[in-house]
Homo-oligomer: A and B are copies of this chain.
């Protein structure tokens, strides 16, 4: 039996007689044969791998549970299609170069871009490279070059701020996320959607990172600027856990003195005291959709609209 026939069986069994098919399948099971992946890649010019590129300084990967949910969700969605995920870190300039060389070496069939920042050169280069790319969250400045999947950040933020107002809070402030990310920008826009003309500059502090520590710092500053605040919408649960620490240190009761709303519904939301009212972001679904869009693009399907997935308000004890 020829190599060709075996190969045809392994690749779907088209144009193979039932007898040959059965014989090959038996032999495969008996010998435990598995095709060499490099040879297959070379012949098909498909690597069977997808890059998961994290363009973020160290700090955040260590801290933010959101990344891990996304990472797992993408890994799993890819595995279901017999694809594998390669984890690439692109925090520093050197790592950056490595990533680019990697893409040029056709090491992967596509690229999942996570946590892009305004002005991030990797986004432009990825889009220029012609390699299929899908970003998590709209890549600021490249909204039209790069396909993306995101939660409805703005709508979610709006729901949260409306909730705080409905609870009878008078001075609703916000700890915004870094404004060089679409999540940071959109969630702040949602805040303004509700607060509207009443908004005062001092009611808003943008954190200098998505971390617990940055949330704590921003909250401390907000308390200085607006000592009589009675509510704060914090743009992520992790930052909100920092805000809770700052409030506790300032002797403010939550939710008695200050209502605190988060965003993400990540596991930290239920690990802090009191558990956070937050906005659920369907991150597992985001990961799956990213993989769907990427595969469609790899398969040659043209234009795909950016996907925006709905969020949901989750009320707990902090508001």
Contact = CB atoms under 8 A, between A and B. Distances in A.
A104 interface: yes
23 contacts: A34-B101, A35-B105, A36-B42, A36-B106, A38-B38, A38-B41, A42-B42, A61-B68, A62-B68, A62-B72, A62-B267, A63-B267, A67-B68, A72-B89, A75-B87, A75-B88, A75-B89, A79-B89, A79-B98, A84-B88, A86-B87, A87-B87, A268-B271
Contact of A72 (B39, B58, B105): B58
A49 interface: yes
Interface string A156-186: 0000000000000000000000000000000
Interface of A: 32, 34-39, 41-42, 45, 47, 49, 52, 58, 61-63, 65, 67-69, 71-72, 75-76, 79, 82, 84-89, 95, 98, 101-102, 104-107, 212, 241, 245, 248, 267-268, 271, 273
**Residue in A84, A85, A98 whose Cβ sees the most chain B Cβ within 10 Å:** A84
A212 B271 contact: yes
Contacts of A34: 101, 104-105
Contact of A42 (B39, B63, B241, B245): B39
Nearest to A33: B104
Contacts of A267: 62-63, 212
A105 B69 contact: no
Contacts of A41: 38, 41
A106 B38 contact: yes
Contacts of A107: 37, 84
A248 B271 contact: no
Given A62-B72, A241-B271, A271-B212, A37 B47 contact: yes
A27 to B, nearest CB: 15
> What are the 5 tightest A-B residue pairs by CB atom distance, in nearest-first order?
A38-B41, A34-B104, A38-B42, A34-B105, A37-B105
Given A82-B98, A273-B273, 8 more contacts: A34-B101, A38-B42, A39-B42, A62-B68, A62-B72, A63-B267, A72-B89, A79-B89
